[in-house]
């Protein structure tokens, strides 16, 4: 069996690291990097740190509007698929790379396998929601990470080829965390004390492109009394500059360059709280047992909204501060909805049996 695996963004690199190892025990894998994330801090460092195989193809599409980026990826992947003639195209999550890979495969009559199928925020203003819904309806194998994801697919009439595989992030995080605790010196480098700071990640256009919303979020976090360590995506840094905030950030903010996964994981693991608008980081915070405050009104990871482990606050100052300061009695929970270790092996075996 030949499988073309499509990756292009940080969350996909992380999931690919463990799954590729298992796939290559069962099949021939061709790895395609679309170049959706392309600079070292957002791309190559993940391949280096997590020992991901060197991509067989790099489409180098770079940045652009959703339409331009998706179109470039679609054209590039189509050429690869015509040349390689795979049995399956494997895609992850909900990025433009995900949708383009699924579209290119389906147009050529090639089967599609979707890892992280069935997630729904039910917010069609999010490009990611459009990507994940369309990809699920194009897929032949749907690897759902949770029971609720299976239920979401059933509501939409999708039952064939659905497997509750568990979440590959459980394995990826377990592997990467052991590396992070041994190798990362980020706390010493930044002179941070465990449980004495907050980690912030923010990149969604809903938060960065609306300058009033951005000012509210930054202003609220400036009142927390804790150091805010903020690895800023280049696009977010530009938004801070355009809004006039970059030169007058609250004094407790420490804006740093984007981090590799090992350093970011260590930074999150030792934080008092993680503040984010990222879907993947909500889940990682949950698995790490660190309180998460989410700068959105909805989430595709509804399983994280238990025991006060994740709170949706939008861009409301009062809700942000209340969530950060609320009592948090335990870093661990008996609720573990994302399955046990072994999802990559389970997925690889199912694909090999087709």
Taking only the tens place, the pLDDT of each residue in 318-327 is 999 999 999 8
- Please return the burial class of 160, using the count of CB atoms within 10 Å of its CB with bins 0-12, 13-18 and 19+: exposed
**Among 95, 92, 96, which residue's Cα sits nearest to residue 139?**
92
- Looking at the fold, whether 256 and 150 belong to one and the same domain comes out as no
Q: Is residue 332 part of a domain?
A: no
CA dist., res. 83 & res. 71, Å (int): 19
Domain with 12 in it: 2-167+339-352
Q: Which residue has the tokens 């433009």?
A: 96
Domain count, the chain: 2
- Looking at the fold, whether 18 and 161 belong to one and the same domain comes out as yes
Q: Which residue has the tokens 């050429």?
A: 79
In angstroms, how far is CA 353 from the centroid of its own chain? 28
- Looking at the fold, whether 34 and 183 belong to one and the same domain comes out as no
CATH number at residue 139: 3.40.50.2000
pTM of the model as a whole: 0.90
CA dist., res. 336 & res. 339, Å (int): 7
Task: Give the active site residue among 137, 163, 175, 203.
Answer: 203
At residue 188, does pLDDT exceed 90? yes
- Looking at the fold, whether 75 and 106 belong to one and the same domain comes out as yes
Q: Which helix (H) or strand (E) holds 8?
A: none
CA dist., res. 199 & res. 203, Å (int): 14
114 is annotated as an active-site residue: no
Q: Is residue 331 part of a domain?
A: no
Q: Is residue 333 part of a domain?
A: no
Whether the CB-CB separation of 197 and 275 falls below 8 Å is answered with no
- Could you report the per-residue pLDDT of 86-96, keeping only the tens digit for each? 999 999 999 99
Q: Is residue 158 part of a domain?
A: yes
- Could you report the per-residue pLDDT of 101-136, keeping only the tens digit for each? 999 999 999 999 999 999 999 999 999 999 999 999
- Looking at the fold, whether 158 and 13 belong to one and the same domain comes out as yes
- Looking at the fold, whether 214 and 307 belong to one and the same domain comes out as yes
- Looking at the fold, whether 321 and 186 belong to one and the same domain comes out as yes
Token pair belonging to 78: 């189509």
């Amino acid at each position: 069996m030949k499988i073309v695996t499509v990756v292009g963004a940080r969350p996909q690199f992380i999931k690919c690291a463990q799954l590729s190892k298992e796939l290559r025990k069962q099949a021939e894998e061709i790895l395609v990097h679309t170049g959706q994330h392309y600079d070292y801090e957002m791309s190559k460092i993940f391949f280096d740190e997590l020992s991901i195989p060197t991509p067989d193809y790099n489409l180098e599409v770079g940045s652009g509007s959703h339409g331009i980026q998706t179109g470039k990826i679609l054209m590039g992947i189509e050429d690869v698929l015509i040349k390689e003639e795979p049995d399956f195209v494997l895609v992850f999550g909900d990025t433009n790379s995900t949708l383009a890979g699924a579209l290119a495969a389906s147009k050529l009559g090639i089967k599609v396998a979707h890892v992280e199928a069935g997630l729904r925020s039910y917010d069609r203003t999010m490009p990611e929601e459009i990507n994940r819904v369309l990809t699920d309806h194009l897929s032949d194998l749907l690897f759902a990470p949770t029971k609720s994801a299976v239920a979401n697919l059933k509501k939409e009439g999708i039952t064939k080829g659905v497997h509750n595989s568990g979440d590959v992030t459980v394995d990826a995080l377990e592997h990467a965390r052991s590396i992070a605790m041994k190798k990362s010196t980020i706390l010493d480098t930044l002179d941070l004390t465990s449980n004495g700071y907050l980690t912030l990640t923010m990149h969604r256009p809903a938060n960065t492109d609306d300058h009033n919303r951005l000012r509210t979020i930054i202003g609220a976090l400036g009142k927390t009394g804790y150091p805010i360590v903020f690895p800023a995506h280049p696009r977010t840094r530009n938004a801070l500059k355009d809004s006039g905030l970059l030169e007058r950030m609250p004094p407790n903010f420490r804006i740093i360059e984007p981090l590799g996964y090992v350093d970011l994981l260590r930074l999150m693991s030792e934080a008092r709280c993680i503040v984010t608008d990222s879907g993947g980081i909500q889940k990682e915070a949950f698995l790490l047992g660190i309180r998460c405050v989410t700068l959105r009104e909805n989430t595709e990871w509804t399983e994280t909204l238990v025991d006060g482990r994740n709170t949706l606050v939008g861009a409301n100052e009062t809700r942000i501060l209340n969530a950060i300061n609320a009592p948090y009695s335990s870093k661990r929970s008996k609720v573990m909805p994302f399955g046990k270790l072994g999802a990559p092996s389970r997925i690889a075996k199912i694909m090999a049996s087709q």
